[in-house]
Amino acid sequence: MAGSRRRKTFFMALLIMLGACWFLKNTLVKMAVIGGAKAITGLDVYVADMNLGLLRSVVHIQGLRVGNPSGFNEPVMIELPEIYVEYRLGSLLRGAPHFDLVRLHLDTLTVIKNAQGQVNLSSIKALQQPPATKPATPEAPKTPANAPEFRIDTLQLKVGRVVYRDYSRGSQPQVREFAVNIDESFKHITNSYAFAGIVVSRALMKTTLAQLGALGDLDVRALQADVTGLLKQSAADILPTAEALSKTAGEAGKKAAGAATETVGAASEAVGEAAGAFKKLLGN
């Protein structure tokens, strides 16, 4: 009886511990997703549903919306019906999130010019200040001076449409809609400026809003150039590490081969000595 009670107590404690770990993981991932979205945009973020993988480090987000800043008539700027993320749990605990894959489906980006001529996209926090960079040297490639906020190995971006609403000419807005239908992939994203810049610039480059002067002080072509430079820079930062790993592996392989050769040589000598001793024994 006592043994049975101990087993029950053990399993109850195990279930409680697993439940606590799941709750902690669930809370941590939700904070990382919603907190990260708010940090990038500087705006209110709403999530309809979020499901975490039980055995895998994945999260499936449905119905994420980014609100507009005050002073704009429409409540929503960005509608994301689906986001799929593969992450590394340890990186969240260290405060430097590392995402192996982010699959982002942006259904509608709503660009608004209000009665004062202000454009809502200019309020996105991550786009207001490009990251400072250190000068490049042969030993240290050009990298962002500020530490990476996160790392995305692969971003798969889908954008459905861009809607433009102009309230600067009266209470009834002039509305234009652009079907952009983007389905593209990007590698090695290491800061929020690059992430937000990819999403916004790729969507807007498929419209005529920049040519119409509808975006205020937001220079889409300059943003696109900045993002391209940052992506190349991130790839260059990773390349020396890969080369160093390859070199280290090569040196380790050479050492292992040398050690194996020495071992084979020593074994051959030992076999030769044993054979000679055996021949003497037979002769005797």
pLDDT in tens, 143-195: 444 445 789 999 999 999 999 999 988 878 899 999 999 999 999 998 899 99
Domain containing residue 230: 14-131+142-247
Let me know if residue 118 belongs to a domain.
yes
For residues 249 and 149, what is the distance between their CA atoms, to the nearest angstrom?
30
Let me know if residue 270 belongs to a domain.
no
Let me know if residue 110 belongs to a domain.
yes
Residues 68 and 121 sit within 8 Å (Cβ to Cβ)? no
Query: Exposed (0-12), middle (13-18) or buried (19+): which is 282, by Cβ within 10 Å?
Result: exposed
Let me know if residue 67 belongs to a domain.
yes
Detail the DSSP E strand segments found in the chain.
Answer: 45-52, 58-67, 76-87, 98-113, 151-166, 174-189
- pLDDT at position 269 over 90: no
Let me know if residue 53 belongs to a domain.
yes
Average pLDDT score over residue span 245-254 = 51
Domain count within the chain: 1
- pLDDT at position 139 over 70: no
Name which residue leads in pLDDT, 97 or 253.
97
Which tens digit of pLDDT belongs to each residue from 80-91?
A: 999 999 989 888
Residues facing 186 on adjacent strands: 155
The proportion of the chain whose per-residue pLDDT surpasses 70, expressed as a percent, equals 68
pTM of the model: 0.71
